[in-house]
Chain A
Amino acid sequence: MNTTKMRFIDRALGLPGAVALLCLAAVFPIFVSDSYALHFLWKILFWAVVASAWNIAGGYAGQFSLGHAAFFGIGAYASTILFVRFGVSPWWGMLVGGVLAALASVVLARLTLRLKGPFFALATIAFAEVLRIVVVNARDLTGGSQGISIPFKPALETLIFSGRTPYVYTMLILLAAVILLTFLIQRSWFGFSLLALREDEDAAETLGVDTVAMKIVATGISAFLTAIAGVLYAQYILLIEPVTVMGLDFSIQVAVISIIGGMASPVGPLLGALLMVPLSEYLRAEFGGSFQGLYLIIYGALLMVMVIFMPQGLVSAIRQPRSTWARICSISGYQRKRIRRADHA
Chain B
Amino acid sequence: MTDDAKISIRGLRKNFTTRFGRVDALGGLDLEVREGELCVLVGSSGCGKSTLLRILAGLETATDGTVEIRRGRDRRALTAMVFQEPSALPWLTVRSNVAYGLRMQGVDSDRRDRVTAQYIEKVGLTRFARAYPYQLSGGMKQRVSVARAFASDPEILLMDEPFGALDELTRLVLQDELLRLFEETRKTILFVTHSIDEALTLGDRVVVMSPAPGRILSTITVPFPRPRRVIELRKDPEYGRHVARIWELLGIDRERHAASPA
A, B bound: no
- Residue numbers of A with Cβ under 8 A of B are none
